[in-house]
Amino acid sequence: MSAAYFIAGTDTEIGKTFVTCALLHAARRQGLTALGMKPIAAGAEQIGSEFLNEDAARLRAASSFDPGLALLNPYCLASPIAPHIAAEEEGVTLAFDPIRTAFDALRPQADLVLVEGVGGFRVPLGPDYDTADLARDLALPVILVVGMRLGCINHALLTVEAITARGLPLAGWVANQTDPTMLRFDQNLAALTHRIPAPLLGTVRHQPDGDAARGAEGLRLPTA
């Protein structure tokens, strides 16, 4: 069976898609067939015949091939707002079964599948369901993307607690420098490395051009 991981973030807008794309590039450089999946995306526009989310488009471009949006992005909501609110306004029920079906169809096609969550680790998807529940139901090891900015230590450690509380293995974490002016970057990195009970898979310095292929140069894949 191919390897698969759930990509979680410490918050929204911390470069989760960028790091997921970089990991896909890192896998492809090792000769692996790699696919990215975005089960739920909020914020999309009509491009030609497609209703497309920007994050899903970036994952598709970084993947080894295009598996089709129905599998890559089963739920694409129009409004760039919290997904449970967007779904309610659009009359959509965010259910697990279509996501499971899409994931099960993707996995035999690749050596590696990266499933990117939405926002932080506990984003509501319905009245009694959130992205932490989604990660638990997929039963995937988690890779945590830490947005390196003021407050990142608290956000990261709380997220690690939430991941382990659900019995999910933390396969590793990535330090992504979202704030190029962050003070004491190295000291914050050292504090996180000491406190997070999982390997650091790499540090990505701020890249204003968003070149995920170059970001892959500082990353490695989990060993298990």
Active-site residues: which are they? 38
Of residues 144, 105, 147, 137, the one with CA closest to residue 222: 144
Of residues 39, 29, 33, 32, the one with CA closest to residue 7: 39
Contact predicate 138/6, CB 8 Å: yes
Query: Amino acid identity, residue 139?
Result: A
The torsion defined by the Cα of 87, 35, 156 and 193, in degrees rounded to 10, comes to 180
Contact predicate 80/43, CB 8 Å: yes
Count the Cβ atoms, other than its own, within 10 Å of residue 124: 17
* Assigned token pair, 167: 């019995």
